[in-house]
Homo-oligomer: A and B are copies of this chain.
């Protein structure tokens, strides 16, 4: 998935630079203005700082990374592992899962199995896992709202920068420099529009899709742990969990089994 995000950013940036450079490579320098960059990016950060606690600002970069680098943990793989654990539990008892703890890499699944092995009551296990799901969902939505707010305030500061540039230019109207003055003034609006439309808003959308995906895997994991603890038939466990997956994405053998 990450490939598309990175490729999209590079493609969009390249298109913008290419359309500028068409009239000559020297034109590119016209579009670089450090103060304009600082007021758009710095201003957006300032506004987000007013709205969020310091911790959220410091984690912005991490939040942004989620949109480009989530791991390809598939629901099918999760189901397979859960069914395999269900078989062990059915054959050798719940406590036999103790020996398979090391092979479970997903900490959410590992935590659920651990609680089951430790003999906690099914209601408590389900409640604790649900709280964890809600907490992960809350954290993801929070991170997404931070990025979406950068995307909302960047164009606002783009406009603020342009207004400042226009006032400076108009207050000291000089026919010689009016053109270049307005050109510089417009740069902040351009920066704000690109930052928001090519990077920040699509990244926030991507974070939403990544969250939807992880929520589904966690939901499957929760149902799986509950089924294992209830000692359900592995075949039934598989059938139940497979309903979470669109038929088109199901492996071939499953359809025969249905």
Cα-based distance from A225 to B18 in the complex (angstroms): 58
Closest residue of chain B to A161 (Cβ to Cβ) is B19
Assess whether A48 is interfacial by the CB under 8 Å rule.
yes
Residue A194 lies at the interface, judged by CB distance under 8 Å to chain B: yes
In A166-196, which residues have CB < 8 Å from any B CB?
Answer: 166-168, 170-173, 178-180, 182-183, 186-187, 189-190, 193-194
B-chain residues with CB within 8 Å of residue A164 when the two chains form the complex: 16, 19-20, 31, 190
Q: Are A197 and B47 in contact (CB under 8 A)?
A: yes
Residues on B with C-beta less than 8 A from A180 are 170-171, 173
A166 to chain B, nearest CB (A): 6
Q: List the B side residues contacting A149 at CB < 8 Å.
A: 205
- Which of A79-87, A96-104, A151-159, A226-234 interfaces with chain B? A151-159
* Nearest 9 interchain pairs by C-beta: A8-B49, A12-B46, A173-B179, A50-B202, A51-B202, A135-B246, A8-B50, A51-B205, A170-B183
CB<8 Å pairs between A and B, sample of 30: A4-B53, A5-B49, A7-B54, A8-B46, A8-B49, A8-B50, A11-B49, A12-B43, A20-B164, A27-B171, A30-B167, A30-B168, A31-B167, A43-B197, A43-B198, A46-B198, A47-B197, A47-B198, A50-B67, A51-B206, A124-B239, A128-B243, A131-B243, A131-B244, A135-B248, A160-B197, A167-B186, A167-B187, A170-B186, A173-B178
